[in-house]
Amino acid sequence: MVDISGFNAAEHEPTQEFEALPEGKYHAEIVDSEERDIGQSGEKGSKLTFRWKILSGACEGRIIFQDILHGYNVQGEKGDKTRDIAARNLSAICHATGKMAPRNTEELHHIPCELSIGFQKKQTPQDPTRNEVKGVKAWGGANSAPGRGQQQSSSAPQQKAAAGGGGWARRAG
């Protein structure tokens, strides 16, 4: 049990369920990252969790999480494939930010990128619709990312209308 006797819910707006972001391209930056265990007590390894913040357009300020299973220690073909996908996803972020050999994930923070957002594959029809980062590129399509503080484009991200709803404002895992 945790003592919360000083908290008064009448003084705060309750959280609202967020609809999934529409599929499309978004101007975003990594604002936080952490390493987390996969499975109970990390028996399956570790993953990087990046928190992306949308920087412009109708979804400005919204957050999306991206997990990269870089330390997946399951053996066999599944493990090899998962680690290959993780390496490619991390490489895409490094290319997009212009940080080809970062010493830590903080070096990838606050560099505007272009995110391609889609939806996770549902395991069952009852599963909620959840967003997934499908790709990361340098903002503006250049080979390396613009510097911090560079003026952002005034054009809004291109977005397609999405069918369905559901929440995605939590960390997976």
Q: In this predicted structure, what is the pLDDT of residue 159?
A: 36
Cα–Cα distance measured from residue 70 to residue 47, given in angstroms and rounded to the nearest whole number:
5
Q: In this predicted structure, what is the pLDDT of residue 97?
A: 97
Longest dimension (CA), the chain: 53
Instruction: Please give the C-alpha separations between residue 171 and each of 43, 63, 80, 110, in angstroms, as whole numbers.
Output: 19, 10, 24, 20
Alpha helices in the chain (DSSP H): 77-97
**What distance, in Å, lies between the first and last C-alpha atoms of the chain?**
23
For the chain, which residues score pLDDT lower than 50?
143-173
Q: In this predicted structure, what is the pLDDT of residue 144?
A: 41
CA-based angle 24:28:30, to the nearest 5?
130
Q: In this predicted structure, what is the pLDDT of residue 160?
A: 33
Model's pTM, two decimal places? Answer: 0.73
Strand order in the sheet with 131-138: 63-72, 45-54, 24-37, 113-119, 131-138
Q: What is the pLDDT of residues 60-107, one digit of tens each?
A: 999 999 999 999 998 999 999 999 999 999 999 999 999 999 999 999
The neighbour count for residue 58, using CB atoms within 10 Å, is: 12
Q: In this predicted structure, what is the pLDDT of residue 43?
A: 86
Cα–Cα distance measured from residue 60 to residue 54, given in angstroms and rounded to the nearest whole number:
5
Q: In this predicted structure, what is the pLDDT of residue 149?
A: 34
Q: In this predicted structure, what is the pLDDT of residue 17?
A: 77
